Structure 1
Amino acid sequence: MSTLRSLCKKRERSRGGLRGVGVFVVGLAVVLAASGCGRGETTAPATARGEGGAGVAQARFGAVDCREVKCIALTFDAGPSENSARLLDILKEKRVPATFFLLGKRHIEKYPELVARMAAEGHEVASHTWDHKILTRITPAQIRDELERTDTAIERITGERPTLMRPPQGRTNGTVHRICRELGLAEVLWSVTAKDYATTDSALITRRVLAQASRDGIILLHDLYQGTVPAVPGIIDALKERGYVFVTVPQLLAPGSAEPGKVYRP
Structure 2
Amino acid sequence: MLTRRAALLAGAGAVGAAATAGVLTAVTGHGPAGSTPAAGAQARRPRSASAYRLQPLTGYGPPHAAPRRTLVRREPLLRVSGRGRTMVLTFDDGPDPRYTPDILDTLAEYDVRAMFFVCGEMAAGSKELLARMADEGHVVGNHTWSHPLLTRLTRRQIRSQLERTSDVIEDACGERPEWFRAPYGAWNRATFQIGAELGMEPLAWTLDTLDWTTPGTRSIVQRVENGAAPGVVVLSHDAGGDRTQSVRALRRYLPELLDSGYHVTVPRRDYA
Q: Secondary structure at the match of 1:122?
A: coil
Counterpart residue number, 2:257: 239
Residue of structure 2 in register with 1:83 after alignment: 99
Partner of 1:61: 54
Aligned counterparts of 2:214 and 2:26: Cα–Cα separation in 1: 35
Q: Percent identity?
A: 33
CA spacing shift, 1:158–1:109, aligned 2, 3 Å: same
1:32 corresponds to: 13
Ranges in structure 1 where 5+ consecutive residues have no aligned partner: 1-13, 16-21, 251-256, 261-266
Q: Does 1:101 align with 2:101?
A: no
Task: Within 5 Å, give how 1:142-153 maps onto structure 2.
Answer: 142-153=157-168
- Cα shift at 1:28: 3.2
The 5-angstrom pairing of residues 187-266 of structure 1 reads 187-224=202-239, 225-250=243-268, 257-258=269-270
Structure 2 CA distance for aligned equivalents of residues 128 and 93 of structure 1: 26
3-state SS, counterpart of residue 233 of structure 2: strand
Aligned residues: 226
Per-residue deviation, residues 236-258 of structure 1 (Å, max 9, x unmatched): 111112211011132xxxxxx34
State how far apart, in whole Å, the 2-side matches of 1:103 and 1:127 are.
7
CA offset digits 1:35-56 (Å, max 9, x no partner): 43xx6984312xx339xxx989
Q: Tell me if the contact between 2:180 and 2:202 (Cα under 8 Å) persists in the aligned partners.
A: yes
TM-score, structure 1 length as denominator? 0.77
| Matching residue's letter, 2:136 | E
Pairing 1:128–2:143 present: yes
How many Å separate the matches in 2 of 1:63 and 1:31? 27
What is the CA–CA distance in structure 2 between the aligned matches of 1:23 and 1:73, rounded to whole Å? 24
Q: What TM-score, normalized by structure 2, do the two folds share?
A: 0.75
Amino acid at match of 2:6: V
Q: Give per-residue Cα distances to partners, 1:137-162, cap 9 Å, x unaligned.
A: 10000000000000010000110100
Give the conservation status (yes or no) of the 8 Å contact 2:209–2:235: yes
Give, in angstroms, the shift of residue 120 of structure 1.
0.6
CA–CA distance in structure 2, aligned partners of residues 219 and 129 of structure 1: 19
SS at match of 2:211: coil
Superposed CA RMSD = 2.6
Which stretch has the larger CA shift, 155-164 or 222-231?
222-231
Contact persistence 1:59–1:122 (CA under 8 A): no
Distance change >3 Å, CA 41–CA 236, structure 1 → 2: closer
Whether the 8 Å CA contact 1:221–1:228 is kept in 2: the answer is: yes
CA contact (8 A) 2:82 2:231 kept: no
| Structure 2 gap segments, 5+ residues each | 31-50, 59-80
Inter-partner Cα distance in structure 2 for 1:142 and 1:84: 28
Instruction: Give the 3 Å change call, closer, same or farther, for CA 161–229 of structure 1 in structure 2.
Output: same
Greater fraction of residues in helix: 1
The correspondence of residues 173-184 of structure 1 with structure 2, limited to 5 A, is 173-184=188-199
SS of match in other structure, 1:91: helix
Which amino acid is the alignment partner of residue 90 of structure 1? T
> Closer, same or farther in 2 for the Cα pair 1:209/1:63, shift >3 Å?
closer
